């Protein structure tokens, strides 16, 4: 079974992707399992740029097909912020409790109908030896809660309220979050691409194994 590298150092993302990619036809491996250290910065200005950079870095370092994502929280009342800088909001060393406090403080006077937000996720797939990157993305809409709730998720999950579930993302069990979340939805779009890559690899291998007289 071919190996697929997850190019992330985020333990929450690793846990989610390992569930979301179960049975995809690839042997999912992590940078830690390969003793790889990848750059942890996100120099791009968009989710697409950051996801591409991370996927290409992983493919170059590992010589494996690599999956990477970039995701963030976009709040309407903050003009779409913190957006692609969500993981660096208030600085890379800020805690999520500090980030929650800033966001909730700025939105303290806003009623529910003015608290709309969305989680966005862009996933990139990169092949070694190629600069071509395949992209998939999706999102989920919700509201900024009035206070953090829930212990199940990570990142901004405790302040992202889903009206149809009457719970925050952090209050959902993992099997529900995997279906509803932006990352779950984006990964569902990636799985057919992974199948296509498997088919392409098998076809190339079959061609390479044929005698020269049968090729073509």
| Catalytic site positions | 70
Residue where the block lists tokens 């989710």: 47
CB 71 within 8 A of CB 85: no
Question: Across the strands, what pairs with 168?
Answer: 161
**Do residues 159 and 144 make contact, with C-beta atoms less than 8 angstroms apart?**
yes
Nearby residues of 206 by Cβ (< 8 Å), 6 or more positions away = none
Decide: 183 and 20 in contact? Cβ < 8 Å.
yes
Tokens of 23: 């049975």
Residue 108 class from Cβ within 10 Å (0-12 exposed, 13-18 middle, 19+ buried)? Answer: exposed
Calpha distance 105→101 (Å, rounded): 6
Contact between residue 84 and residue 45 where contact means Cβ atoms under 8 Å apart: yes
């Amino acid at each position: 079974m071919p190996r697929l590298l997850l190019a992330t150092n985020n333990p929450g993302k690793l846990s989610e992707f390992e569930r979301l990619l179960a049975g995809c036809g690839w042997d999912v491996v992590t940078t830690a399992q390969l003793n790889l250290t990848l750059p942890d910065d996100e120099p791009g200005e968009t989710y697409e740029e950051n996801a591409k950079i991370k996927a290409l870095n992983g493919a170059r370092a590992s010589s494996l097909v690599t999956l990477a994502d970039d995701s963030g929280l976009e709040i309407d009342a903050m003009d779409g912020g913190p957006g692609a800088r969500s993981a660096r909001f208030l600085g890379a060393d800020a805690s999520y409790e500090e980030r929650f406090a800033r966001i909730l403080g700025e939105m303290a006077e806003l009623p529910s109908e003015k608290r709309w937000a969305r989680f966005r996720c862009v996933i990139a797939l990169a092949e070694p030896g190629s600069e071509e990157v395949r992209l998939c993305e999706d999102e989920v809409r919700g509201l900024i809660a009035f206070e953090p709730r829930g212990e199940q998720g990570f990142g901004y999950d405790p302040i992202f309220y889903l009206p149809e579930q009457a719970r925050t993302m952090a209050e959902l069990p993992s099997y529900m979050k995997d279906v509803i979340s932006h990352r779950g939805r984006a990964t569902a779009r990636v799985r057919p691409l992974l199948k296509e890559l498997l088919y392409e690899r098998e076809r190339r291998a079959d061609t390479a194994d044929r005698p020269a007289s049968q090729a073509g």
